[in-house]
Amino acid sequence: MDGEPPGAAARMRDVARVAQVSAMTVSRALKDPERVSPEVRARVEEAVRQVGYVPNRLAGSLSSSRSNVIGLVVPSIDNSLFASTIQGISDVLRRHGHELMIASSGYGEEAEEAAIRAFLGQRVAGLILHDTTHTPEAVAMIRRAGIPVVENGTLTRHPLDMVVSYSNHDAAMAMMRHLLRLGYRRIGFVTLPLAANERSRDRRRGYAAALEEAGLPYDPRLVLEVPPGLAAGVEALDRLLDGGGDPDAIFFAGDVLAIGAALECTRRGWPVPGRVAIAAFDNIDLLGHLVPPVTTLRLPRHEIGRRSAEVLLDRIQGRATGPLTVDLRFEIIHRAST
């Protein structure tokens, strides 16, 4: 009855036959309705509905060498922090009829390179990378492909192309100044692995810069590098308090570390900041509900996503050219824990 094998998607020429026009006219009617007569447009629309036509974007992109897909590489998807950036990107892209492909690098440059290669294979129109350090081969591929790129992780001093972020250095420094202003002098610093990314390194530079500015020594017994996770925060708390550095405050510059530590203080019945003050990086909602609520930084996670997508689209659609650095703002949320 059908004339077509089942499972075969309708093609443009099927629509054309039904609407009694050429395939080219169907293409025009769909992409640029102004350029066909109203009657033809109506016939085409009807035919599209009738055969259940969904345009093949593989063919479209191949032919026009224009893609509507953006590739995103994040260190890990399983992390609410990237989630909110992803949501921001996704919101903007969808509004502009673009699609989002996501890959995670597992915090490794090799995996990032593989993801980038795969995305370039899909001929994405642009890339958003969270990390700011890349393999030479990855950089070379991106250069050859000549597509716009946004980096997100920190305001790196060696951008590939465009950067949309906040300054991890300045944010850490601002928090340190805040603590110093409150009178804390022996401030511990807990960071995620420094080798893994520039963000953590920038934060530690900010920590060190604030100490130097205040004329205080950098005491290695006050600095700790730990893996991510609640449990690591608890462990860091113990190790710093027992480590001989005798901290009066601890600045947790990594995701969920502060939460683990703060909850542990509650569990032990330690007064915060009486026993030790606690400051965090990000995660503002939850930290505000802890007892006591924890001082932290509000970071523009969602905004980073939105703006990244926007500047990328600006370039793709020819509204802008050249490198660009967008410095988004952070904010210190002062609460009872410090």
Partner DNA sequence: CTTGCTGGAGTTACCGATATCATAAACCGG
Partner DNA sequence: CCGGTTTATGATATCGGTAACTCCAGCAAG
* 90 contact choice in DNA, its own copies, none (CB below 5 to 8 Å, kind-dependent): its own copies
Q: Is 208 in the site for its own copies (CB under 8 A)?
A: no
Spatial CB neighbours of 314, under 8 Å, sequence gap ≥ 6: 320
Q: Which does 228 bind (CB under 5 to 8 A by kind): DNA, its own copies, none?
A: none
What would the x/- binding string for DNA be over residues 61 to 90, using CB under 7 A? -xxxxx------------------------
Q: Which is nearer to its own copies, 53 or 184 (CB)?
A: 53
From the list 7-15, 173-181, 186-194, 198-206, the region that binds DNA by CB under 7 A is: 7-15
- Rounded least distance, CB 90 to DNA, Å: 24
Closer to DNA by Cβ: residue 64 or 76: 64
87 binds, among its own copies, DNA, none (CB under 5 to 8 A by kind): its own copies
CA-CA distance, 202 to 92, in Å (whole number)?
29
Contact of residue 23 among its own copies, DNA, none (CB under 5-8 Å per partner type): DNA
| Under rule CB under 7 A, residue 13 binds DNA | yes
Contact window for DNA (CB under 7 A) among 30-38, 87-95, 127-135, 218-226: 30-38
Comparing C-alpha atoms, which of 58, 67, 73 is closest to residue 98? 67
Shortest distance, position 265 Cβ to its own copies, whole Å: 10
CA distances in angstroms from 178 to 211, 287, 331, listed in the order given: 12, 17, 11
Least CB distance from residue 119 to DNA, whole Å?
15
Q: Which is nearer to its own copies, 176 or 294 (CB)?
A: 294
Question: According to the binding rule CB under 8 A, does residue 310 interact with its own copies?
Answer: no
Are residues 249 and 225 in contact, defined by beta-carbon separation less than 8 angstroms? no
Q: Residue 336 interacts with its own copies (CB under 8 A)?
A: no
Binding of residue 47 to DNA (CB under 7 A): no
Do the Cβ atoms of 292 and 263 come closer than 8 Å?
no
3-class DSSP string for 137-195:
HHHHHHHHHCCCEEECCCCCCCCCCEEEECCHHHHHHHHHHHHHHCCCCCEEEEECCCC
Q: Is residue 140 a contact residue for its own copies (CB under 8 A)? A: yes
Alpha carbons 307 and 312: distance in angstroms, whole number = 8
Query: Does the footprint of its own copies cover residue 145 (CB under 8 A)?
Result: yes
User: Residues touching its own copies: how many (CB under 8 A)?
Assistant: 62
Applying CB under 7 A, which of residues 45, 51, 56, 228 lies at the interface with DNA?
A: 56
| Least distance CB 175 / its own copies (angstroms) | 23
- Binding region for DNA (CB under 7 A) out of 18-26, 167-175, 259-267, 286-294: 18-26
Which spans of this chain sit near its own copies (rule: CB under 8 A)?
Answer: 6-7, 9-10, 52, 54-59, 61-62, 67, 69, 76-80, 82-84, 86-87, 90, 94, 99-104, 114-115, 117-123, 140-141, 144-146, 229-230, 234, 259-260, 263-264, 266-267, 285-286, 289-291, 302
